[in-house]
């Protein structure tokens, strides 16, 4: 009997860990999008959650209305739709930067009070409100999701011990986690070894020096903003198979994104991924010892602990750049 | 000198104003009002926007019907005018909206509010102070536990619903499966209505019915993932699952996870309390096959006798069936109409008094289960019944009580 209780306990632990890693991978991807924008431009983007919402709707409409489901079926379709959301939201991000964000960032703000952060804050908050309410008018208030049979089925790992200890890995979440990791690897490669990546890093490290070296800092910022928007949109679209969403869904995730970015170290892109992953794992595993109601409280207790013990985050640099 | 002069000027102005008002007031009062304002304070933005909009549909339909049938006859055929106000998506916003409403709409005679029990609790704190009668479909017992005089709860309270429905559910399970359920898992969110439903079960009802509570989980909506919750159910293998969500996404996450873990589609029969699990929106996010057989206990539902209303709701707003949000709010407007007829004047105090004294079996009674329209000293509807609704082939239909049922209940068994 004691063995059985132990095995059930083990199963609970492994199952929560699996759920945490799967959801953490998607959180990680969201955070990376935000970290890219913050890392390169030093802009705190409050509209990031709402760009994610747009990504979710883009994937939904691509899937349900514009033929992706008919062409690729309900199994692969959702992932094709998620990848289609990327270029679309890249364009949106590019446009928003060109029309709005560039007016309060970059070289224009040098020497302004607080480096223009106040204007940026108001601008992104305002954008968030417009997107939320605009989406409500255009898309309606009812929740929708990208429907696939994968979200209700799982790969069963086990039983690992006689008849006990089976871990279920939700198929939709499993594939989403793989796509998410692949996207991050691709991005890391882009930043590390392409000419564009070099320009992004240079603009992030020292915009002034980068300008002297012949780098178009404004363009780098625009690309970073668009890329960050696109990546978060993909994360949203991957989430959309399991999570019904509505125009206000961004609010539910923007806090998670910020906590993840700060935990990982402001400005560190890889750190943001691990920050998001930590949130996912803490959120799911805390239920083993704490009441489920306190899931999100647990996240912020860990968050405060990390900020207290390691203020620069997992991967942050102690010395601020000049 | 300056300020003193202004002061004099102001008091002069005030005096002139008072005289002017005194002169013009009697003719205005003597006239019958052309329109009588009734309020609807419900969420129309944020994550609860959808139920609020359905309530608005119900209210609009009722006001149109009332006006088309000659308005308020006791007021010379005065028309009702619906003032719909967005309560937002938090108790704080709901309270602010209520403050705005009472400040701006001084001639409003009554209102219906505010969907979520938590919001209704906040809103009525404000409306009570200005003596505005408020009808509510919210469930929480607390709403009418505070000694307020201007709150009228048309739904059976959550505790009363639990008390009425649990024996029925056990009877149904026993009849269909041949054995009495012995254990139950409860998964509930922590909103006021859900908590009020679960409280009497845990304290008393389950023990009285000889059912053991094997899983007891409370979560904060919205969930990000349902794995840990459903894992508990898998470990405990109960005979029944009581699942009380308020947000659609939580309903989808848990029901899909049940299926994924091999517990869905009747292996562990699922019973809910409240409306979320029978919302049309659920079909936009998940497959109807996973819902078949799922039952829910609700205070009100489009049932036998409401066929014409259900058809109108469908043709006018494209709503596939009539939820409590639509039918109760529709009924609320008719109750207010009835109170205005009896009061004979468009005055909130008079309306409140007639509501307290009301005792009728016809008219608006048809829109609420329980067969009578009378409120007790707390503001609770006397003899308020309930309905049990079951998902059958992609539609939630009323299966209990038999006089309202549109279909026979079936017990999912595997």
Q: To which H or E segment does residue A276 belong?
A: helix A269-285
Same-domain check for residues B235 and B191: yes
Q: Is the CB of A144 less than 8 angstroms away from the CB of B285?
A: yes
Ranges of chain B whose pLDDT falls below 70: 1-33, 412-414
In sequence order, the 6+-apart residues with CB closer than 8 A to the CB of B194 are B158, B188, B244, B245, B246, B273, B274
Place of tokens 């008919």: A70
Task: Work out the minimum CA distance from B244 to partner chain A, whole angstroms.
Answer: 14
What is the edge-to-edge ordering of all strands in the sheet holding B240-244? B212-219, B183-189, B240-244, B270-273, B295-298, B387-392, B395-400
Main-chain dihedrals φ then ψ at residue B397, nearest 5 degrees: -115, 150
Neighbours of A89 (CB within 10 A): 29
Same-domain check for residues B191 and B78: no
Exposure of A265 in the CB half-sphere (CA atoms within 13 A):
15
Task: Work out the minimum CA distance from B362 to partner chain A, whole angstroms.
Answer: 35
Q: What is the pLDDT of residue B23?
A: 44
Burial of A67 (0-12, 13-18, 19+ CB in 10 A): exposed
Residue B29 lies in a domain: no
Please list every residue in chain B whose beta carbon sits closer than 8 Å to the beta carbon of residue A147.
285-287
Q: Is the CB of B229 less than 8 angstroms away from the CB of A242?
A: no
In sequence order, the 6+-apart residues with CB closer than 8 A to the CB of B226 are B250, B253, B254, B256, B257
Same-domain check for residues B142 and B70: yes
Q: Which domain holds residue B356?
A: 35-156+305-383
Contact A167/A158 with Cβ under 8 angstroms? yes
Q: What is the pLDDT of residue A51?
A: 97
Q: What is the pLDDT of residues A175-188, one digit of tens each?
A: 999 999 999 999 99
Please list every residue in chain A whose beta carbon sits closer than 8 Å to the beta carbon of residue B49.
136, 141, 246, 248
3-state secondary structure of B14: helix
Same-domain check for residues B268 and B320: no
Exposure of A27 in the CB half-sphere (CA atoms within 13 A):
33
Which residue, among B341, B387, B397, has the nearest Cα to B109 in the 3D structure?
B341
Q: What is the pLDDT of residues A64-101, one digit of tens each?
A: 888 888 888 888 999 999 999 999 999 999 999 999 98
Q: What is the pLDDT of residues B155-199, one digit of tens each?
A: 999 999 999 999 988 988 887 777 899 999 999 999 888 998 999
Q: Is the CB of A145 less than 8 angstroms away from the CB of B285?
A: yes
- Residue B237's region, left for phi above 0, alpha for psi from -120 to 50, else beta, is left
Same-domain check for residues B369 and B396: no
Within an 8 Å CB–CB cutoff, is residue A142 touching chain B? yes
Q: Is the CB of A152 less than 8 angstroms away from the CB of B53?
A: no
Task: Work out the minimum CA distance from A296 to partner chain B, whole angstroms.
Answer: 9
Token output for B341: 């007829």
Please list every residue in chain B whose beta carbon sits closer than 8 Å to the beta carbon of residue A296.
220
Q: What is the pLDDT of residue B342?
A: 95
Strands B395-400 and B387-392: antiparallel
Same-domain check for residues B392 and B245: yes
Which of A16, A155, A246, A278 to substitute to test the interface with B, most B CBs within 10 Å? A246
Strand positions, DSSP E, A218-310: none
Q: Angle, nearest 10°, between helix axes A2-41 and B227-236?
A: 170
Dihedral over Cα of B151, B155, B160, B161: its sign: negative
Q: Is the CB of A18 less than 8 angstroms away from the CB of B225?
A: no
Nearest residue of B to residue A5, measured between CA atoms: B235
In sequence order, the 6+-apart residues with CB closer than 8 A to the CB of B245 are B189, B194, B221, B251, B254, B272, B274, B276, B277
CATH code, domain with B364:
3.40.50.2300
Same-domain check for residues B396 and B253: yes
Token output for B35: 């329109």
Please list every residue in chain A whose beta carbon sits closer than 8 Å to the beta carbon of residue B50.
141-143, 246
Dihedral over Cα of A269, A275, A278, A283: its sign: negative
Q: What is the pLDDT of residue A74?
A: 86
Q: Is the CB of A145 less than 8 angstroms away from the CB of B252?
A: yes
CA B3 to mean position of chain CA atoms: 54
Within an 8 Å CB–CB cutoff, is residue A53 touching chain B? no
Same-domain check for residues B70 and B116: yes
> In angstroms, rounded to a whole number, what is the distance separating the alpha carbons of residues B139 and B157?
5
Please list every residue in chain B whose beta carbon sits closer than 8 Å to the beta carbon of residue A243.
224, 249, 252-253
Would you list the domain boundaries of chain A? 2-309
Within an 8 Å CB–CB cutoff, is residue B261 touching chain A? yes
Token output for A166: 């089976």
Residue B22 lies in a domain: no
Name the DSSP letter for residue B276. Answer: G
**N-terminal to C-terminal alpha carbon distance within chain B:** 91
Residue B408 lies in a domain: no
Task: Work out the minimum CA distance from A9 to partner chain B, whole angstroms.
Answer: 9
Q: CB-CB: which of A143, A152, A248 is closest to B256? A: A152
Q: What is the pLDDT of residue B33?
A: 54
Q: What is the pLDDT of residue B76?
A: 92
Please list every residue in chain A whose beta carbon sits closer than 8 Å to the beta carbon of residue B222.
252
Q: What is the pLDDT of residue A116?
A: 77
The total of structural domains in chain B comes to 2
Which residue, among B269, B249, B285, B229, has the nearest Cα to B388 in the 3D structure?
B269
> In angstroms, rounded to a whole number, what is the distance separating the alpha carbons of residues B253 and B249?
6
Please list every residue in chain A whose beta carbon sits closer than 8 Å to the beta carbon of residue B219.
292-293, 295
Within an 8 Å CB–CB cutoff, is residue A145 touching chain B? yes
Q: Is the CB of A147 less than 8 angstroms away from the CB of B285?
A: yes
Same-domain check for residues B97 and B215: no
Which of A146, A243, A280 to substitute to test the interface with B, most B CBs within 10 Å? A243
Task: Work out the minimum CA distance from A284 to partner chain B, whole angstroms.
Answer: 7
Q: Is the CB of B281 less than 8 angstroms away from the CB of A143?
A: yes
Within an 8 Å CB–CB cutoff, is residue B281 touching chain A? yes
* Angle subtended at Cα A236 by Cα A224 and Cα B222, rounded to the nearest 5 degrees: 130
Q: Is the CB of A248 less than 8 angstroms away from the CB of B46?
A: yes
Contact A34/A261 with Cβ under 8 angstroms? yes
In sequence order, the 6+-apart residues with CB closer than 8 A to the CB of B403 are B304
Contact A104/A98 with Cβ under 8 angstroms? no
Task: Work out the minimum CA distance from A292 to partner chain B, whole angstroms.
Answer: 5
> In angstroms, rounded to a whole number, what is the distance separating the alpha carbons of residues B397 and B304?
10
Q: Is the CB of A293 less than 8 angstroms away from the CB of B218?
A: yes
Same-domain check for residues B283 and B193: yes
Q: Is the CB of B286 less than 8 angstroms away from the CB of A147?
A: yes
Residue B9 lies in a domain: no
Which residue, among A14, A310, A26, has the nearest Cα to A174 in the 3D structure?
A26
| CB pairs < 8 Å spanning A and B | 113
Same-domain check for residues B288 and B393: yes
Q: Is the CB of A145 less than 8 angstroms away from the CB of B253?
A: no
Within an 8 Å CB–CB cutoff, is residue A291 touching chain B? yes
Within an 8 Å CB–CB cutoff, is residue B284 touching chain A? yes
Residue B41 lies in a domain: yes
Within an 8 Å CB–CB cutoff, is residue B46 touching chain A? yes
Main-chain dihedrals φ then ψ at residue B256, nearest 5 degrees: -70, -40
Q: What is the pLDDT of residues B211-264, one digit of tens each?
A: 999 999 999 988 999 999 999 999 999 999 999 998 888 999 999 999 999 888
Q: What is the pLDDT of residue B13?
A: 45
In sequence order, the 6+-apart residues with CB closer than 8 A to the CB of B412 are B265, B266, B269, B292, B293
Within an 8 Å CB–CB cutoff, is residue B222 touching chain A? yes
Contact B140/B379 with Cβ under 8 angstroms? no
> In angstroms, rounded to a whole number, what is the distance separating the alpha carbons of residues A285 and A301?
14
Q: Is the CB of A19 less than 8 angstroms away from the CB of B217?
A: no
To the nearest 10°, the Cα dihedral for A73, A74, A80, A84?
100
Chain A 10-29, CB below 8 Å of chain B: which residues?
A: 11-12, 15-16, 18-19, 22-23
> In angstroms, rounded to a whole number, what is the distance separating the alpha carbons of residues A239 and A176?
8
Same-domain check for residues B83 and B203: no
Task: Work out the minimum CA distance from B43 to partner chain A, whole angstroms.
Answer: 11
What mean pLDDT do residues A52-57 have? 97
Burial of A16 (0-12, 13-18, 19+ CB in 10 A): buried
Within an 8 Å CB–CB cutoff, is residue A75 touching chain B? no
Spell out the SS3 assignment of B299-316. Answer: CCCCCCCCHHHHHHHHHH
> In angstroms, rounded to a whole number, what is the distance separating the alpha carbons of residues B112 and B128?
13
Q: Is the CB of B224 less than 8 angstroms away from the CB of A23?
A: yes
Which residue, among A146, A111, A155, A219, has the nearest Cα to A15 in the 3D structure?
A155
Mean pLDDT of the residues in chain A: 90
Domain made up of A2-309: CATH architecture? Orthogonal Bundle (1.10)
> In angstroms, rounded to a whole number, what is the distance separating the alpha carbons of residues A167 and A155?
8
């Amino acid at each position: 009997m004691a063995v059985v209780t132990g095995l059930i306990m083990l199963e609970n632990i492994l199952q929560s860990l699996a759920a945490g890693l799967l959801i953490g991978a998607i959180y990680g991807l969201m955070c990376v999008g935000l970290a890219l924008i913050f890392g390169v431009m030093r802009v705190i983007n409050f509209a990031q959650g709402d760009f994610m919402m747009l990504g979710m709707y883009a994937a939904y409409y691509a899937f349900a209305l514009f033929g992706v489901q008919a062409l690729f079926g309900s199994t692969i379709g959702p992932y094709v739709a998620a990848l289609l959301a990327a270029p679309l939201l890249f364009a949106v991000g590019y446009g928003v930067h060109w029309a709005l964000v560039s007016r309060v960032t970059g070289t224009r703000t040098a020497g302004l009070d607080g480096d223009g952060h106040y204007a940026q804050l108001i601008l992104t908050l305002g954008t968030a409100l417009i997107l939320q309410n605009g989406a409500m008018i255009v898309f309606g208030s009812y929740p929708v999701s990208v429907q696939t049979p994968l979200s209700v089925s799982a790969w069963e790992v086990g039983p690992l011990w006689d008849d006990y200890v089976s871990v279920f890995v939700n198929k939709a979440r499993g594939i989403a986690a793989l796509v998410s990791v692949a996207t991050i690897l691709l991005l890391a490669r882009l930043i590390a070894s392409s000419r564009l990546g070099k320009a992004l890093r240079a603009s992030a490290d020292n915009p002034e020096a980068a300008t002297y070296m012949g780098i178009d800092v404004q363009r780098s910022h625009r690309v970073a903003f668009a890329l960050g928007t696109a990546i978060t949109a993909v994360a949203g679209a991957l989430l959309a198979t399991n999570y019904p969403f509505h125009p206000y869904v961004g609010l539910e995730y923007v806090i998670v994104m910020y906590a993840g970015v700060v935990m990982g170290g402001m400005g560190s892109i890889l750190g943001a991924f691990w920050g998001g992953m930590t949130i996912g794992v803490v959120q799911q595993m805390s239920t083993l010892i704490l009441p489920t109601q306190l899931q999100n409280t647990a996240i912020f207790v860990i968050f405060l602990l990390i900020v207290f013990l390691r203020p620069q985050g997992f991967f942050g640099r102690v010395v601020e750049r000049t | 000198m300056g300020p003193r002069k202004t002061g004099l000027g102001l008091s002069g102005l005030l005096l002139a104003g008072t005289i002017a008002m005194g002169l013009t007031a009697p003719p205005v009062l003597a006239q019958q009002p052309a329109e009588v304002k009734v309020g609807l304070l419900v969420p129309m933005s944020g994550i609860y926007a959808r139920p609020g909009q359905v309530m608005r549909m119900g209210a609009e339909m009722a006001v149109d019907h009332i006006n088309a049938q000659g308005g308020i006859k006791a007021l010379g055929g005065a028309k009702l005018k619906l003032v719909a106000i967005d309560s937002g998506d938090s108790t704080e916003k709901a309270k602010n909206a209520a403050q705005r409403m009472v400040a701006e709409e001084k001639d409003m005679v009554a209102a219906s509010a505010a969907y979520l029990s938590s919001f209704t609790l906040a809103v009525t704190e404000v409306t009570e102070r200005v003596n505005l009668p408020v009808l509510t479909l919210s469930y929480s017992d607390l709403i009418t536990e505070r000694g307020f005089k201007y709150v009228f709860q048309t739904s059976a309270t959550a505790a009363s619903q639990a008390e009425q429905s649990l024996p029925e559910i056990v009877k149904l399970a026993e009849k269909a499966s041949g054995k009495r359920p012995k254990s139950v898992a409860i998964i509930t969110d922590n909103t006021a209505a859900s908590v009020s439903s679960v409280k009497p079960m845990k304290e008393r009802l389950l023990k009285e019915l000889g059912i053991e509570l094997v899983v007891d989980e409370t979560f904060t909506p919205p969930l990000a993932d349902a794995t840990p919750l459903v894992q508990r159910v898998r470990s405990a293998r109960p005979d029944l699952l009581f699942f009380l969500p308020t947000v659609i996404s939580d309903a989808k996450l848990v029901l899909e996870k049940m299926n994924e873990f091999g517990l869905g589609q009747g292996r562990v029969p699922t019973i809910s309390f409240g409306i979320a699990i029978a919302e049309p929106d659920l079909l936009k996010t998940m497959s109807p096959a996973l819902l078949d057989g799922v039952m829910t206990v609700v205070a009100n539902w489009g049932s036998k006798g409401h066929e014409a209303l259900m058809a109108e709701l469908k043709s006018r707003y494209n709503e596939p069936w009539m939820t409590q949000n639509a039918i109760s709010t529709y009924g609320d407007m008719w109750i207010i109409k009835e109170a205005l007829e009896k009061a004979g004047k468009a005055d909130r105090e008079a309306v409140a008094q007639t509501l307290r004294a009301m005792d009728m079996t016809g008219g608006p009674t048809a829109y609420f289960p329980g067969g009578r329209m009378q409120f007790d000293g707390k503001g609770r509807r006397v003899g308020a019944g309930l309905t049990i609704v079951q998902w059958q082939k992609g539609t939630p239909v009323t299966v209990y009580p038999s006089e309202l049922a549109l279909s026979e209940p079936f017990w999912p068994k595997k």
